[in-house]
Structures are given as structure tokens and as C-alpha cells.
């Protein structure tokens, strides 16, 4: 399931992040790539121990915390600290699947990557190319969103960033371990939650249809969630 979250960051937050990143150090993205990804990855990243970037990372986490769509679609158990990347003209990231286990640098804790996120920090007209292309069983999905908007997709899917041919594409990217490992089960919970929201817009909260379907949602979470 691929879901876009419009306006995850406010324009002020996006502008602030960009301003800080303008004066930060960038290193070769190979520093965090696994073996296969290293062969196809050509971009720049901000080192995870950069103090300024850690503050920006906290700001992105705060934005996730106020997004009902992120919570409903990802059902996050743990979110790795958001990182920042950049593709200048000639840079690209070929087809790869994200590493399955990652370590939280600050604590050493291992998390399983279930859901990948990209938050766009540059406007589509600031660069050419640089589309995120995610493959699933229904084909390829091309994503290029306005600054501040995010896309979440299953970490199990093959994906790439097409070459940037002009300008520069900046983004925040990170992974979450979900309480529900399986993409299809997560998808069903998201659809059910959306339907509950619509039903709650039509009926009072004490209507048996509302209480019944809400109970069903929680009982399914009880069946499937790992916490």
C-alpha cells in the first residue's frame, strides 16, 4: 500500500529544514548503504551524528506525531530517526530493497523495517527527474510530491529514484517498524479505519453500528499486533 500524506510539514518547517541543510555538511550516501544498494546508490546524505540534523530529525518525528494518516497507515511501533538526502544533477538511486534490520544509532536497538517514508523538501519544479518509483504487484508507481508532502510505502517493495537531470532534489527519509508486519493486514486496518471515520461522520458515537465496528477494529489489532 502506497499512501501520500499532504502537508506533513508546514511551509515554515520545510523552510527551516532547508535553511539548516543549506549550511550543513553532506557526505556520500554510500556510508549507510548495504552491499547491493551500494552498487546502485549515488547521492548525498547528512551524517546521522550531525547535531543540527538531529534537531531537524526530531522536528520531522514531531510532525509524524500529529498526523492521523501516518498513525493509521503505519501503526508505528518504532520510528528510526529521520535522515536527510540529496540528489544533485547526475545523481540517482537504482532499484533496491531497503535493508530489513537497522540499528538506532543512539541506542543500538535493532528495528525491523516494515514501512519506508520519503518527505519531499524541494518543489517539483526545482529539479528534473528524481521520481521515486515503487514497484508492487500492481506495477510501478511514480511519486514526485510538493515540498512538505510525504509518501509511505512497504519496505518490502523494490524501489528507485530516477536520475536527477537538472537542479537538486532534497528529502527526508526513514523507516518504521509497524505493530503489524504484513503489508496486506496493515492495508486492511487502514481501510477499516477510514470506513469507521466515515461512519462516525454519519452516526452518533453511541450508535451500535459505530460501537460494533470500532470494537471489531480493536479486536483485529489485538489479534495481529506485535508490541
| Annotation: binding site for Fe cation | 96, 98, 159
Binding residues for 2-oxoglutarate: 169
User: Residue 46 corresponds to which cell in the numbers above?
Assistant: 547528512
Which of residues 5 and 132 has its CB atom nearest to ligand AKG in the complex? Answer: 132
Binding residues: 96, 98, 159, 169
Distance in angstroms between the alpha carbons of the first and the last residue of the chain: 22
Which residues in 105-132 are b (16+ Cβ under 10 Å) and which e?
A: eeeeeebbbbbbbbbbbbebeebebbbb
Burial class from Cβ neighbours inside 10 Å (0-12, 13-18, 19+) for residue 66 reads exposed
Interaction with ligand AKG in 79-138: which residues (CB under 6 A)? Answer: 85, 93, 98, 118, 132
Closest contact distance (angstroms) between CB of 218 and ligand AKG is 33
Q: Among 193, 151, 191, which residue's Cα sits nearest to residue 6?
A: 151
In angstroms, rounded to a whole number, what is the distance separating the alpha carbons of residues 207 and 145? 39
User: Residue 158 corresponds to which cell in the numbers above?
Assistant: 523494490
Binding mask 161-200 for ligand AKG (x = CB under 6 A): x---------x-x---------------------------
Binding mask 149-188 for Fe ion (x = CB under 5 A): ----------------------------------------
Q: Which residue, judged by CB position, is nearest to Fe ion in the bound state?
A: 98
Interaction with Fe ion in 60-99: which residues (CB under 5 A)? Answer: 98
CB 147 within 8 A of CB 122: yes
Which of residues 75 and 80 has its CB atom nearest to ligand AKG in the complex? Answer: 80
In angstroms, rounded to a whole number, what is the distance separating the alpha carbons of residues 11 and 52? 19
Which of residues 75 and 150 has its CB atom nearest to ligand AKG in the complex? Answer: 150
The residue ranges that bind Fe ion (CB under 5 A) are 98
The residue ranges that bind ligand AKG (CB under 6 A) are 85, 93, 98, 118, 132, 159, 161, 171, 173
Amino acid at each position: 500500500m502506497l499512501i501520500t500524506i499532504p502537508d506533513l510539514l508546514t511551509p515554515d518547517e520545510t523552510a527551516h529544514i532547508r535553511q539548516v541543510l543549506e549550511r550543513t555538511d553532506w557526505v556520500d550516501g554510500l556510508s549507510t548503504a548495504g552491499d547491493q544498494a551500494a552498487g546502485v546508490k549515488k547521492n548525498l546524505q547528512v551524517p546521522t551524528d550531525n547535531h543540527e540534523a538531529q534537531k531537524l530529525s526530531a522536528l520531522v518525528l514531531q510532525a509524524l506525531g500529529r498526523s492521523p494518516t501516518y498513525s493509521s497507515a503505519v501503526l508505528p511501533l518504532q520510528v528510526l530517526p529521520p535522515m536527510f538526502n540529496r540528489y544533485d544533477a547526475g545523481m540517482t538511486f537504482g532499484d533496491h530493497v531497503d535493508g530489513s534490520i537497522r540499528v538506532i544509532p543512539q541506542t543500538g536497538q535493532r528495528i525491523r523495517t516494515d514501512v519506508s517514508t520519503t518527505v519531499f523538501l524541494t518543489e517539483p519544479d526545482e529539479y528534473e527527474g528524481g521520481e521515486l518509483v515503487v514497484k508492487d504487484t500492481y506495477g510501478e508507481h511514480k511519486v514526485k510530491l510538493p515540498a512538505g508532502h510525504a509518501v509511505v510505502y512497504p519496505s518490502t517493495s523494490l524501489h528507485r529514484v530516477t536520475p536527477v537531470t537538472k537542479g537538486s532534489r532534497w528529502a527526508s527519509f526513514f523507516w518504521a517498524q509497524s505493530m503489524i508486519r504484513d503489508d496486506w493486514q496493515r492495508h486492511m486496518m487502514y481501510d477499516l479505519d477510514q470506513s469507521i471515520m466515515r461512519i462516525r461522520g454519519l452516526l452518533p458515537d453511541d450508535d451500535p453500528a459505530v460501537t460494533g465496528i470500532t470494537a471489531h477494529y480493536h479486536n483485529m489489532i489485538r489479534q495481529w499486533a506485535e508490541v
